[in-house]
Amino acid sequence: MSTGTPLTEEGVETSMAAARRSIGGELERFASNTLEYIQREAHRLFEPVELPELRTEFRGRHALVVVRGHDYRSDLAALRPYIREYRPVLVGVDGGADALLEMGFHPDVIVGDFDSVSERAVRGGADLVHHVHVDGRAPGRENLHAWEVPYHEFVMDGTSEDVAMVLAYEAGATLIVAVGTHASMVEFLDKGRAGMSSTFLTRLRLGPVLVDAKGVNRLYEGRVRRRDMLLLVAAALLAMVVVSIVAEPIHVFLDGIRLTLRDLWFSLTDRF
């Protein structure tokens, strides 16, 4: 049984005011962490990386990198036409693989620690890339061993979503579309992880090749246009005309009217 504390309007306003006062300090800590990371790891981030040998071909294709983050369902639903037309490489970052399955897609590559992905996704035939840190840390390796599935290792510092983007970029993807990833300063701070600084540097590395799909579903929340309504009405009228032309009962009815008019004409002309 869970318990909680009821909030009052005054209490919420007080908490919001305290949060606004502390945001400056949080930004300072994030900036300090980023500078520290740059001094320690920036040379590694821009060095050539050794890519695993995957069955999936990235070169010359788009890549869709999915993290199970904010609004991922809505954005994936809005991206269905894009996925059908461009057929990008579908990359699931840990639970992002299950997000793709949930929306009816099958991931081509799964990248991450494999600590928040289902066995169903792992056994779906995708290339499995285990994120191993430079210092040798490899969380989630025991899960892969327990599942007894073949996998590749990719050594790189940063978060798993960074690793997935760099993998796609270095493998030759012409465009990387990110769904559910961390893009804004608020999300960086909310994540509360020192490694989020690497995400900032990763985005610098990828530059214009990376496109954030966050909020793309809002592009499709439009008004019903007058032109669309007119087209709908015109289509309905056209359908009614076609049915009236080809339907047998209509033909019988029109033939009956024609015969009645002909008999009436003959009866009138016979009198004269």
- Asked if residue 26 has pLDDT above 70, the reply is no
- Tell me, what's the pLDDT at 10? 82
Q: What number of CA atoms fall less than 13 Å from residue 269's CA on the CB side? A: 6
Average pLDDT, the chain: 80
Tell me the two tokens of residue 81: 């036409």
1, pLDDT greater than 70: no
Q: Is the pLDDT of residue 176 over 50?
A: yes
pLDDT-based confidence at residue 23 (cuts at 50, 70, 90) = low
Q: What is the pLDDT of residue 225?
A: 58
Question: pLDDT confidence of 30, banded at 50, 70, 90?
Answer: low
- Interval 159-177 mean pLDDT: 93
- 118-159 pLDDT, tens digit each: 999 999 999 999 999 888 888 889 999 999 999 999 998 888
Is the distance from CB of 107 to CB of 101 less than 8 angstroms?
Answer: yes
Please report the pLDDT score of residue 180 as a whole number: 87
Calculate mean pLDDT across residues 200-204: 76
Q: What is the pLDDT of residue 38?
A: 64
pLDDT in tens, 237-257: 777 666 666 556 666 666 667
Whether 266 shows a pLDDT value over 90: the answer reads no
Which of residues 32 and 209 earns the better pLDDT score? 209
CA 62, chain centre distance (Å): 13
| pLDDT tens for each residue of 70-80 | 788 888 988 99
Give CA–CA dist 234/180, Å, rounded. 41
Structure tokens at 180: 């559910």
What is residue 239's predicted lDDT score, i.e. its pLDDT? Answer: 72
Flag the least confident range among 6-10, 107-111, 219-223, 227-231: 219-223
- The pLDDT value given to residue 37: 63
Q: CA angle at residue 167 from 146 to 70, to 5 degrees?
A: 80
Contact 50, 163 (CB under 8 A): no
> What is the pLDDT at residue 190?
53
Q: Residues near 200 by Cβ (< 8 Å), separated by ≥ 6?
A: 34, 188
The secondary structure of the chain, three-state, reads: CCCCCCCCHHHHHHHHHHHHHHHHHHHHHHHHHHHHHHHHHHHHHCCCCCCCCCCCCCCCCEEEEECCCCCHHHHHHHCHHHHHHHCCEEEEECCHHHHHHHCCCCCCEEEECCCCCCHHHHCCCCEEEEEECCCCCCCCHHHHHHHCCCCEEEECCCCHHHHHHHHHHHCCCCEEEEECCCCCHHHHHHHCCCCHHHHHHHHHHHHHHEEECCCHHHHHCCCCCHHHHHHHHHHHHHHHHHHHHHCHHHHHHHHHHHHHHHHHHHHHHHHC
Question: From CA 240, how far away is CA 243, in angstroms rounded?
Answer: 5
What pLDDT is stored for residue 222 in this prediction?
Answer: 45
| Least confident range of 103-117, 187-201, 203-217, 230-244 | 187-201
Q: What is the dihedral of CA 159, 165, 167, 168, to 10 degrees?
A: 160
pLDDT at position 8, please? 82
Spell out the domain ranges in the chain.
Answer: 17-218, 226-271
**What's the predicted TM-score (pTM) here?**
0.68
Dump pLDDT digits (tens) for 79-126. Answer: 998 999 999 999 999 999 999 999 999 999 999 999 899 999 999 999
